[in-house]
Amino acid sequence: MGGHGHGGRPRKEVNTTKFYEALGIAKGSDAKTIKKAYRKAAMKHHPDKGGDADTFKEISKAYEVLGDPEKKKTYDEYGEEGLESGGPSSHSDIFDLFTGGGGRGRGQRRKQKGEDVVFPLKVTLDDLYNGTSKKLRLTKNILCKVCEGKGGKGVQTCRDCKGQGVKIIIRQLGPSMIQQMQTACNTCRGTGQVIAEKDKCNACNGQKTVKEKKTLEVFVSKGMKHGQRVTFSNEADEAPDTIPGDVVVVLQQKEHSTYKRDGAHLFFKKKITLVEALCGFEFTITHLDKRVLVVRSEEGKVYKHGDFNAIRDEGMPTHKNPYVRGNLYVEFDVEFPSPQSLTPDIKKQLKKLLPAPSKMELDEDDYEEVGLEVVDIEAEKKRHQQQSKEAYEEDEERPRGGGQPGCRSQ
């Protein structure tokens, strides 16, 4: 029984910890720990970074086995001798790990992930406040169901590239210099396989994929933001020996006519008259969820132009925690009466009711009277910048030196 093989002979002890020790982790570590340990060790010992090549090979060999669930299971029980004859293939490139790959067994072609497809989706601020769902219709390539993505019967390995999908081209650059380049095989178009015309699948004409229309439902959660992404994993184009990429939906918020958003907060601009600013007001705000908020001024308070007042917890809901909200800020825009509406009688009454203006005491010989002009401040800034630029260019063009042009010093 335990400890004995066939015929009652003792079972040979095998080493099932060597590869774990190479990565500096305990036997039985999970896939995440193994991958993290390999990345750290490979970065440290990669020959391109000054590391030892033999150590790097051992690390790569260890990850090639432990990074494959089936090989790891065999190794954990039977050690290296229990693995398939021939053992692991040559060491992996460290950058395989960063492009989604692990190790490759001999004769195996690692699946690459296809390109992601990005779609912009227009949404309103109301959508982001209340949450909604949108339909996204797309056309994508899927593996042909008739030939199961093989392209037809009688599929043969491409003779030109020997099934690799790529060919090596060597160029002579000089007497002792050559350049080696890798390029996709033209014969098989990089697939590594060729199909005779008569053997091609009638459904896909040997292309291995066909077009399919699909509808995805995009759920926009409360509190999501402009630029936020919703990802549909592996919903992009399918291709043989390829993991489909993702469909990535990017939310694009339209400008709202009433509200401005800044993170978790909303901003609302309200025009009030001078009388309302001085004597009080009341008005309603229709919120993004159609609730009507009644706003009344505080007794005895004077509201100035440009003042901000907060309505707590009436801003945007927090994504994934919609019961936590920002604030709604009301900015007051005080409208002053037009000059035509202020008759001499009204002005007299205002002078009696409002505090009298302060009087200046000036020496008649010590001041200069100036006028006021209404301007567009942004236009003023641009005008002054242009004038400064022209003055600088004119100064640069002037001849340097103190003498007059055409004169020589004696």
Q: What is the pLDDT of residues 309-341, one digit of tens each?
A: 999 999 999 999 999 999 999 999 999 988 888
CATH architecture label of 112-150+204-253? Sandwich (2.60)
For the chain, residues classed under CATH 1.10.287.110 are 6-110
372-385: per-residue pLDDT in tens?
A: 888 888 998 998 88
**pTM recorded for the entire structure:** 0.59
**Contact present, 130 and 222 (Cβ < 8 Å):** yes
Query: What does the angle CA 166 – CA 172 – CA 178 come to, to the nearest 5 degrees?
Result: 75
CATH of 6-110, one of 3.90.280.10, 1.10.287.110, 3.40.50.150, 3.20.20.140: 1.10.287.110
**Contact present, 66 and 36 (Cβ < 8 Å):** no
CA distances from 208 to 121, 147, 149, 153, 190 (A): 31, 7, 4, 11, 14
Task: Give the closest residue to 327 by CA, choosing from 293, 298, 360, 299.
Answer: 293
Strands ordered across the beta sheet of 229-232? 117-123, 247-253, 229-232
Whole-number Å distance between alpha carbons of 278 and 297: 10
Distance of CA 288 to the CA centre of its chain: 27
pLDDT at 402: 52
Name residue, tokens 């000054």. Answer: 50
**Contact present, 87 and 18 (Cβ < 8 Å):** no
Q: Which helix H or strand E contains 129, and what residues bound it?
A: helix 125-130
pLDDT at 401: 57
Residues of the chain scoring pLDDT < 50: 1-11, 85-108, 405-410
pLDDT at 145: 93
Whole-number Å distance between alpha carbons of 204 and 143: 9
Distance of CA 310 to the CA centre of its chain: 33
CATH architecture label of 259-340? Sandwich (2.60)
**Contact present, 223 and 317 (Cβ < 8 Å):** yes
Coil, helix or strand for 158? coil
Listing DSSP states for 16-40 in one string gives -SHHHHHHT--TT--HHHHHHHHHH
**Contact present, 163 and 152 (Cβ < 8 Å):** no
**Contact present, 288 and 125 (Cβ < 8 Å):** yes
Which residues are bridge partners to 180 per DSSP? Answer: 170
Coil, helix or strand for 259? strand
Coil, helix or strand for 100? coil
Burial 273-298 (b: 16+ CB within 10 A, else e): eeebbeebbeeebebbeeeeeeeebe
Name residue, tokens 């009466």. Answer: 337
**Contact present, 66 and 34 (Cβ < 8 Å):** yes
pLDDT at 13: 63
**Contact present, 263 and 246 (Cβ < 8 Å):** no
Whole-number Å distance between alpha carbons of 216 and 114: 19
401: phi then psi, degrees, rounded to nearest 5: 105, 160
Whole-number Å distance between alpha carbons of 398 and 410: 24
For the chain, residues classed under CATH 2.60.260.20 are 112-150+204-253, 259-340
**DSSP category for residue 10:** B
196: phi then psi, degrees, rounded to nearest 5: -65, 150
Task: Give the closest residue to 233 by CA, choosing from 114, 314, 127.
Answer: 114
